[in-house]
Amino acid sequence: MSVEDRAQELELQDWERNNRSRPVRPRFSPGEPGYGPAECAECGDDMPAERRAMGSHVCTACKTLQEQQQKRRAA
């Protein structure tokens, strides 16, 4: 095996090691700082667990509405 082939092999191994899938886990657990509220701050509906784990204070529907309003203002 040539030096160039070995270098490419090592580079590929390094790239695969750095870019492999990592398990997705919530950033925060209940009771820890940053864990989001049980209810949306805008509409009061129950907050999905995924959004709570990210520390979000608004539900998906309210966030979508906010982003649409921001887009209209920017246009």
pTM of the model: 0.53
pLDDT at res. 69? 93
> Where along the chain do its domains lie?
30-75
pLDDT at res. 33? 63
CA distance 37 to 46: 9
CA distance 59 to 29: 18
Q: 23 pLDDT band (50/70/90 cuts)?
A: low
pLDDT at res. 56? 85
Q: How far is CA 33 from CA 2, 27, 46, 69, 73, in A?
A: 54, 10, 19, 30, 33
